[in-house]
Structure formats: structure tokens, C-alpha cells
Amino acid sequence: MKPFLHVRGLRSGYAGGVVLSGVDLDAEEGGIIAVLGRNGVGKTTLISTVMGFVRPYEGSVTLDGREIAGARVDVIARAGVGVVPQGRRVFAPLTVAEHLAIAARRRPARGPWTRARILELLPRLGERLGHRGDELSGGEQQMLAIARALLGNPRLLLLDEPSDGLAPAIVSQVGEVVREVSAEGMTVVLVEQNLGLALSVAEHVAVMRKGSIVHRATRAEFAAAPEDRRRLLGVD
Ligand SMILES: Nc1ncnc2c1ncn2[C@@H]1O[C@H](COP(=O)(O)OP(=O)(O)O)[C@@H](O)[C@H]1O
Ligand SMILES: [Mg+2]
């Protein structure tokens, strides 16, 4: 059986330059895979290429058997892919409620993740509905970025370094949220530098280096392999 997300030989980059030199990645339906790797290895480029922000030069991306490589972002979004971008991309002058209204209008989608359900999952956002983007803490901005993606009821959620810059208590909340959406059947690709978060939520890890995936392991295998972690990530 083919995995829900099936990426083969994906090559892409910017202005003709190559960043991804042939990425292979699989994710089972409802599973969580963490993509790890040092700065600059191409993790965000991988997310951007799957989402359609960057056009691939070559390769295949299938979602539940449907080819989406090279399609437009809106087509890929409607096929069921959602993204929580690196840096969160929250708009300073817009309130939380306005962000949610825009996301709900742009991606009307059926599924379990209604506005009410999302505010139940992320109660802090409900208390901040009238606050502007630039009045939110980093953690609140991250929760808003996640809420915005969930409103589209994606079948595949791509999260790009959601823990970046957040306090440890907020990082574990992000982990809880990821576990909860996955438990409802959403497939998750979690790009992280925070190994603790990655290993606390993901069943599988894939390590990128220089534009391709050079190591795959289960969570348990990777947790038990300090030498691999040191060699591939430079962490203990
Ligand atoms: N918009 C862009 N235009 C040109 N080069 C880029 C762009 N974004 C990233 N790059 C380059 O692509 C490489 C991989 O970057 P990126 O995918 O952001 O890595 P990571 O997310 O793993 O830190 C880097 O050399 C970076 O400078
Ligand atoms: Mg990045």
C-alpha cells in the first residue's frame, strides 16, 4: 500500500539553482513524521515545494494517490494540504478574529475543525479574539498560525519549525496540539530543530542534509542512537 504522502525524486530550488537534489519522503495517513536537519539544508524549501510556493524542477508528490507536484498553491490547498509557515506570518494590524475570518472565507472546507472546535483546542486564542497580531506573544502567534491552517481542514498539515523562539512550556503545548490533530486522522510533517519536541510527537524521523534525506529512523531507533544524532544534527 502506498503511503498517504509519497514524495519521490523531488528537485527544486530558486532561479534555476538547485536546493532539493532529490527528496524521497513518505508519511502514513494520520501519522506524524519529523523532518530534522541543520540550518540551510532545505527543510523550508521542501515544505514550500510540497505546498506549491516553489515549483519543482522534477519529481513526484502524491497525496492519497493524486499527483500534486507542480500544481498551483490553491489547487494543492484544495487537494488537502495546509501549512503553518516558518516565522508564523501573522499580520500585525489584523485581529485574531479577522485572521480567522479571512482563513475561513478563503478555504471553505468540511471537516472536524470548525472555528468553535479550534477555539476549544486553543482556548487562549478565544480570549484574544480582539487583539491585533502585533499584540500577541510569540506563542499566541504560533497558535493563530496553526488555527488558520486547521480552518482549511487539511488532510496533510506541514508545520515549519513551530517551536522556534518559544518558551519550553509553550513548546509542549504545540506538541499537544500536533498530537491532537493527528489523533483525528490528519497526517503531519513536522519540520523541527527542537529534537525534544520532534521525538515527543513523531513516530518517524527523516534527517535532511544538503538537499536530500540522508537518514530515516523510527522515533525509538533515533532516540537510542546518540551517535547518529551527533553526526547528523550536531546535538547530544
Ligand atoms: N527565496 C529564496 N531564494 C533564494 N535562495 C533561497 C530562498 N530561500 C532559501 N534559499 C536558499 O536555499 C537553501 C536552503 O534554505 P531553506 O530551505 O530555508 O533551509 P532550512 O529551512 O533547512 O534552513 C539555503 O542555501 C538558502 O539560502
Ligand atoms: Mg527553514
- pLDDT, one tens digit per residue, over 1-16 is 679 999 999 999 999 9
In the reported structure, the alpha carbon of residue 224 is separated from the centroid of ligand 2 by a whole-number distance in angstroms of 26
- For residue 9, the model assigns a pLDDT of 98
In the reported structure, the alpha carbon of residue 20 is separated from the centroid of ligand 1 by a whole-number distance in angstroms of 10
Is 151 a domain residue? yes
In the reported structure, the alpha carbon of residue 190 is separated from the centroid of ligand 2 by a whole-number distance in angstroms of 11
Nearest atom of ligand 1 to the alpha carbon of 38: 22
| CATH number of the domain bearing residue 41 | 3.40.50.300
Digit-coded pLDDT (tens) for 34-93:
999 999 999 999 999 999 999 999 999 999 999 999 999 999 999 999 999 999 999 999
Distance in angstroms (rounded) separating the CA atoms of residues 22 and 20: 6
Is 5 a domain residue? no
State which residues form the domain around 43.
30-53+71-233
- For residue 46, the model assigns a pLDDT of 98
Distance in angstroms (rounded) separating the CA atoms of residues 87 and 89: 6
Digit-coded pLDDT (tens) for 78-119:
999 999 999 999 999 999 999 999 988 876 567 899 999 999
Would you say the CB of residue 40 lies under 6 angstroms from ligand 1?
Answer: yes
Would you say the CB of residue 39 lies under 6 angstroms from ligand 1?
Answer: yes
Q: How many domains does the chain have?
A: 1
Would you say the CB of residue 130 lies under 6 angstroms from ligand 1?
Answer: no
Is 46 a domain residue? yes
Is 210 a domain residue? yes
C-alpha cell at 178: 500536533
Is 12 a domain residue? no
DSSP state, residue 132:
B
Is 131 a domain residue? yes
- For residue 235, the model assigns a pLDDT of 73
Pairing of strands 17-27, 81-84: unpaired
Is 83 a domain residue? yes
Is 135 a domain residue? yes
Which one, of 59, 46, 5, lies nearest residue 27 by Cα?
5
Could you tell me how far CA 30 lies from the centroid of its own chain?
Answer: 14
pLDDT(121) > 80: yes
Q: Please identify which residue in the block is written with the cell numbers 503545548.
A: 173
Would you say the CB of residue 45 lies under 6 angstroms from ligand 1?
Answer: yes
Which one, of 177, 187, 196, lies nearest residue 124 by Cα?
177
pLDDT(234) > 90: no
- For residue 28, the model assigns a pLDDT of 95
